[in-house]
Structure formats: C-alpha cells, structure tokens
Amino acid sequence: MVMEWSTDSVPAAARFDQWREACCEHVYALTPERKTRGAFHGAISRRQLGALDVTDITCDGHLVRRREQDISDCPGDTYYIYLQRQGHAWFEQHQRRCLVQAGDIVIADPNLAFSTGTDGAFDFRLWRITRSRLRPLLALRSGELPMLRIGREQAEAELIAGWLDALLRPHATLSPASLDLAVDTLCALVASAAGAAPELREPTRLARRQALLQRVMREVERHASEMDLRPERIASSCGLSLRSLHQLFLLGDCSFHEFLTRTRLTHAHSLLRDPSARHLGTAEIGFSAGFGEVSTFYRRFKQRYGVTPGEWRAGQPLDS
C-alpha cells in the first residue's frame, strides 16, 4: 500500500504549515524553517516493504532541523538510509558539515540532532530500518551512530543502492520470508559500510557478495539482447576477474550462462505476447532477444515453456 500526500490540495497560504505537519507525521518530528514567502510545493510518497519503510520526498528548498527538543518529544525507533536522487543537499551534525550529490547515500541515527538544507530543491528517498534489526550488527564505540556519507563513487554506495533498487522492482514478488532475508542482507550491507561488530564480519562479507551478484545480474539483464555478450565483458564492467564472476553465481541457483539464457527467454516470451511485435517472425524474436541461432532458441524455449515459440504465440488471444 502506498500513501501519497501533496501540498497541491492545500491553499497556498497554508502550504508550508501543512508541510511541517506532514513531515512530522510521515518522516520524523522535525522543525522546517523557510525565510522566503510565496508558493511552496512538496510531495511525499510512502510505502511499507516488510520491516522497511520507504519514503520519497520532493519539495522546494528550505532549512530543516531535528532538534534535541524534537528528539525528546518523538524519539525514533529506526535508523535511516538517505539516498539523494537529484540535485544536492548539505547536512550538519556535531559541527561537521557534508555535501551530498545525486547518487550519494547518508546513513544516520534520527536520535542525534542534525540540520539539512539545499539552495535548490530536495529530491531524495528515505529508507527506515527498525533499530532492533540493525543495531546488533553495528560496532558502536560510543553507543551512537554518527552521520555517515557514502559517496556514489564508493563501491559500498553502488551495492547498497543496487540492493535497494532491486527491492522496489515492480516485478519483484517476494514472499514475506524472502523479503525478510533481503532486509537481513540490507542490514549487513549497511553494517559493513558503517562498521560491523567483529563477530559479524563474515556475514557482512557474504552480504556484499550477494549484493555484487545482484549488480552483475542487473548488468546481464541490460545487455542480454546483444548476441556477442560474454562473461568477460560483464566481469570487466563490474570490476571483477572472470573467476570471481563465476564464483558469485555459486551463491544462486544457476551459472552465468544459465542466467543469461533465462533472461533472453523471458524477453522473447514477452515479445511473443506483445501486440506491437506481431510483425516479427518467431526467428526474428529469437534474434531480438539475443539468441544467435534459431535452433538454440527453439530448443531452449520448448525446454522452459513446454511448447515451441510458434505454438505459444498461436495460443495467445489476438488482443493480448
């Protein structure tokens, strides 16, 4: 279920006051401040994914504080992952200031006061993880998790962002148990970036390998229709050796080549039922999906779906 809220339905004069209340209800208890007058626009989209709360926020720039009084009035029971989607923003905590650009990630504890702002517009995604789920994995010397920026150029940022993106894929139909395992992996990735407890270093290493496999699989999906796609090319684009690439697939239920074939078959299956592709013959469908030989395409398709591509297409309604 998705909750949508926008200032569009609020009279212009009351928009910022309503925005303040909406932030306190759907984000954290905050103290937004705005010096300029005039129209203000803000939108919040919030959904729940098992133990994860995901909130997208876009709004005009202004100053936001989470003061000690806000924390005292409404302490948070989560940690959060802040992903800058567009533009930039700054954060300040304990006299330390950092600038975040599109693609950067910030991991933080909402129970530590901070301020943030931008001279443009805010556009970010906030993932909240229950404290009891993440805290046991962290090595917190002072008992606190200070704000941590992970730049988009760092491997950890790409792995965390890629894992988060996979959780939001429209075709992802994870069971509650699978989603729970995915959240465990996310927590381990965050702990690896923020500092994992010594006894949990091995689980965090496994989580990084799982996230790296996810990244490799997405790269394969992007280029599967290219007939000359080879594992060497994917390994190089992901900064891996060929041996490491094949070892990653040992974490899953298939090899690199099996996954590539599955991906191509899924694409071909989709094209065969696409009305806009009816002018293409079944052989052309196979070539479009990345198969270099018609016989291989037909054989693999029948192995997976039990019928040939032509038989499958013939059984589809004309208006599908």
- The listed CATH number (1.10.540.10, 2.40.50.100, 2.60.120.10, 3.40.50.300) that belongs to domain 1-153: 2.60.120.10
Instruction: Give the pTM.
Output: 0.80
Provide the residue ranges of all domains of the chain, joining segments of one domain with +: 1-153, 154-253, 260-314
- Among 106, 30, 32, which residue's Cα sits nearest to residue 71? 30
pLDDT, tens digit, 9 for 90 and up, residues 276-296: 999 999 999 999 999 999 999
pLDDT of residue 318: 56
pLDDT of residue 261: 97
pLDDT, tens digit, 9 for 90 and up, residues 89-133: 999 998 899 999 999 999 999 999 999 999 899 999 999 999 988
pLDDT, tens digit, 9 for 90 and up, residues 134-161: 988 888 766 788 899 999 999 889 899 9
110/91 Cα distance (integer angstroms):
13
Q: How would CATH label the architecture of 260-314?
A: Orthogonal Bundle (1.10)
The answer to whether 45 touches 56, Cβ cutoff 8 Å, is yes
- The least confident of 194-203, 222-231, 272-281 is 194-203
Identify the helix (H) or strand (E) that includes residue 81.
strand 78-84
One-letter amino acid of 151: G
Percent of the chain past pLDDT 90, that is, above it, reads: 66
282/268 Cα distance (integer angstroms):
9
Residue with tokens 């002018």: 279
Q: Could you tell me the two tokens for 83?
A: 């992903």
Rg (CA), the chain: 24
215/161 Cα distance (integer angstroms):
10
Q: Is 186 exposed, middle or buried (0-12, 13-18, 19+ CB in 10 A)?
A: buried
Q: Could you tell me the two tokens for 178?
A: 């699978």
pLDDT, tens digit, 9 for 90 and up, residues 19-74: 999 999 999 999 999 987 778 999 999 998 888 899 999 999 999 999 999 999 99
Q: In the predicted model, is pLDDT for residue 201 greater than 80?
A: no
